[in-house]
Structure 1
Amino acid sequence: MTSNSPRPARHEPLPADPDLYPDLAAAGSLAAALALAAAEQGLDLGAVLSNDSDPLRTVGVTSTTPGREPCWIFIGSQSRWFNINGPCQGVQLLSGSTSDLGELARAAAGWRDGARLREIQDDAAFIEVSELTEAHELGPAEAVTVKWRLLLEGLHQDADRLDLARQTLALAEAASAEPKLRQLYPFTSHWSLHFTTCTGFPYSWDVPFIDPLSDGRYRVCGPSRGTVIGEGDTAAAAIAMVVGALPANCGPAVAGTANDQRQG
């Protein structure tokens, strides 16, 4: 049986604009130009990876450090910039943008060699290092501690202007005072307060979560979104319901993702 429907056109990735990237054009590819920039500084990036979906504009550099995935680099089309992203155990640790290919090569080499984020930043100033990414680098316990503080600080700022933020703040304050929840990694989504047993994304969904309601009350659901455990008039009542429905041996949160937990 034949079809008269036209086949979808195949779009080949465009090479780098030689006006924006004369160094890439001269080297023949982003991978070759990056390797050359590294070699000129005495750095070894190993075998540079190619992205099959965009081989002319995207490359990756593997890391020798366990847990660190390859960092991926892609280029801008309207202006000259190189963006680098390096995930580790479900957390985006390495990030930043620069127009300097040599600086980019130093950042990629640092990631490959296992340098800490601040060490990479010392060699490549464009690398962004936040308090939370540094905490993740120190381990899950530090990440949980910093995440709780930043979550509460952010909710305090929003609570002056948003009713739902005030409700979620009351939840977070009550939860942070409960040791069984304080050891989990917290996050909010549409003002719902969630707790996960891992610090990397995708997060786990094995702990109940709490939705603030428009009438000032709270609904506790979980672990699936369609399962309602109950409703409470106060934040303390909602927190008590979560604690009562925690899975056995829950916490403290560990590094990695929900996928890692399933595989383990």
Structure 2
Amino acid sequence: MTSNTPRAARHEPAPADPGLYPDLVAAGSLAAALEVAAAEQGLNLGTVLSDDSDPLRTAGVASTAPGREACWIFIGSESRWFNINGLCRGVQLLSGSTSDLGELARAAAGWRKGAMLREIEEAAPFIEVSELAEAHERGPAEAVIAQWRLLLEDLRQEARRLGLARQTLALAETASAEPKLRQLYPFTSHWSLHFTTCTGFPYSWNVPFVDPLSDGRYRVCGPSRGTVIGEADTAEHAIALVVGALKADCGPAVAGTANDLRDRQIGRSLEK
């Protein structure tokens, strides 16, 4: 999509007040201060990653667990806080904010050694463990089940006030009763209902999706947005069009991202 609207000038984040972080200033960087906080507790963070261009603002801790990316820590500029987040196969599992550097070190150490989310939360109570994150931790099948339930709950809330939400809810309820779609990971975008064969972001675009129309009807497209499969008067007809256009080997959804799916497909092609 293109636009003639001038882009806003990019503003770099305001520098943090050194008075909020005397421990970081004394250590020379967030990474160094984090290493000190970990060492004081007998924790091993490995080599803590740092941004040389702004060493007080960010730091990262690599994980030894398969699929887990390095968790990254960012500091607040107006008040003292440390925000941590960690991705695993395209899903943010680790998140939380604290002003306590020691507690932060315990969370990072747990992520590094592959501790379960609840174990990390027990060691560092500021960590926020969502139901969906725990489901992803248990595997893609559990993540799909949780995502369907949470999606339907959210749509039922929104349907009380928005017509398009009511249409999308009708789609989701119909799709959730269809076994071929129930095994895929559902999500919505601008009230369109999508299905992906992977549970991490970026999601795959290899399954048709449905747009609710302002006149109460539906348009089924895909897999690419420019391909229209057909229009339907009812949610049931729209979902039937999606099911009819599915590939024979579609699903169940697997852990990872669309990029992972592409890499696996390339790998299989090279093996032939």
Q: Please report the TM-score for the alignment, with normalisation by the length of structure 2.
A: 0.91
Taking the TM superposition and a 5 Å limit, the aligned residue runs for 1:220-231 are 220-231=220-231
Taking the TM superposition and a 5 Å limit, the aligned residue runs for 1:164-183 are 164-183=164-183
Match of 1:86 in 2: 86
Q: Which amino acid aligns with 1:35?
A: E
8 Å contact from structure 1 (residues 14, 56) kept in 2: no
Alignment partner of 1:19: what SS? helix
Match of 1:4 in 2: none
Match of 2:192 in 1: 192
Instruction: Work out the number of aligned pairs and report it.
Output: 254
Deviation at 1:18, TM superposition (A): 2.6
Residues in 1 aligned to 2:52 and 2:161: alpha-carbon distance in whole angstroms: 47
Match of 1:59 in 2: 59
**Percent identity over the alignment?**
83
Match of 1:7 in 2: none
Match of 2:254 in 1: 254
Residues in 1 aligned to 2:63 and 2:252: alpha-carbon distance in whole angstroms: 28
Taking the TM superposition and a 5 Å limit, the aligned residue runs for 1:1-264 are 16-52=16-52, 54-264=54-264
Deviation at 1:247, TM superposition (A): 2.1
- 1:147-182 Cα deviation digits (max 9, x unpaired): 000011111111111111110010000000000000
| Unmatched runs of 5 consecutive residues or more in structure 1 | 1-10
- 1:185-205 Cα deviation digits (max 9, x unpaired): 000011000000000000000
Residues in 1 aligned to 2:215 and 2:231: alpha-carbon distance in whole angstroms: 12
Match of 2:6 in 1: none
Please provide the CA RMSD for this pair: 1.5
Deviation at 1:26, TM superposition (A): 1.4
Residues in 1 aligned to 2:26 and 2:41: alpha-carbon distance in whole angstroms: 18
Structure 1 residues 79, 251: CA separation in 2 closer, same or farther (over 3 Å shift)? same
Structure 1 residues 26, 16: CA separation in 2 closer, same or farther (over 3 Å shift)? farther
Structure 1 residues 157, 14: CA separation in 2 closer, same or farther (over 3 Å shift)? closer
Residues in 1 aligned to 2:115 and 2:252: alpha-carbon distance in whole angstroms: 27
- 1:67-108 Cα deviation digits (max 9, x unpaired): 000000011111111010100000000001100000000000
8 Å contact from structure 1 (residues 16, 24) kept in 2: no
Deviation at 1:53, TM superposition (A): 5.3
Alignment partner of 1:152: what SS? helix
Alignment partner of 1:136: what SS? helix
Residues in 2 aligned to 1:12 and 1:250: alpha-carbon distance in whole angstroms: 44
Match of 2:270 in 1: none
